[in-house]
Structure 1
Amino acid sequence: MGLTETILAGSNALPQPFSRGKGGRLELEAVVAERKAFLSKRKLTYRCRLRVDDAARKVTYYEILLEKGSGLSSGEGDAAPGFGFKKESYSVGGKSREGTIEEQSRLFGKDYAYRFDFAAVRREVERMAADAGYAFEVVLREKSV
């Protein structure tokens, strides 16, 4: 069994299994948190892409956190007084990031909490690559994968 098949088989223990994507790369996308409230929606997504190069015995890895939201604003914070429609998008990507994402918030009287160790996905892929004798490289640009 090749490294690509090993990663596909071993990804069942991850928050979301890898799937085959364009050009032979492997992809994983997991919704970390999603919150829907009166006319507003926010979603935090973890996405990673990897390519196994058997000839060079190398794994190229890319990951990013995407936060998207839309809805009505009520003039809180830096916004102008009154109501308005707001849509925003936020992303974080880069070389290896460590740690977890944690949030505790209070929205309309309900507590929302999530915890996601996004570094665990990368560590598991890196371990599988090392066990197979492949080099592991984290890249900053998605097009590099």
Structure 2
Amino acid sequence: MDLRHGAASLEGTSPTLSELVALCSQLRVDVRSAPLPSGWLGAYDHTAARILLLPGLTPVEQRSVLAHELGHALRMDTGDSAAAERAAERFAALLLIDPAALKAAVAWARDETELAEELGVTVDIVRSYLALRPRPALLRAA
């Protein structure tokens, strides 16, 4: 998995945590665990070319947050804005969720939490993906 064909070529590939770290390495972005301000799970520092992840995150949270912060890195975000946060979350959702896996999970999942568990992402990632794509009929009432 690499970035030679651009970020769009990664859509739906659902990379593992190790593959995400390798993608960061390709970008020459260092990934570290570090204390962060209250309420933050991750951060991207463009000046230092570094992604910071809050210690103690679950593997699912690590993967989801790292994909989000990778979105910031690919956009070379230098500041914090609502638009940049939405774009990074959309990137993470499109990267981490395989449409075929989502379709299979929708057949039995009762809500977004079950979808997230099945897909190995956070509920926020599922919600971001569903906001970009037509909501499966099963989840319309959720």
- Category of TM-score, reference length = shorter chain: under 0.3
Q: Which has the higher strand share?
A: 1
- The structure where helix makes up a greater share of residues is 2
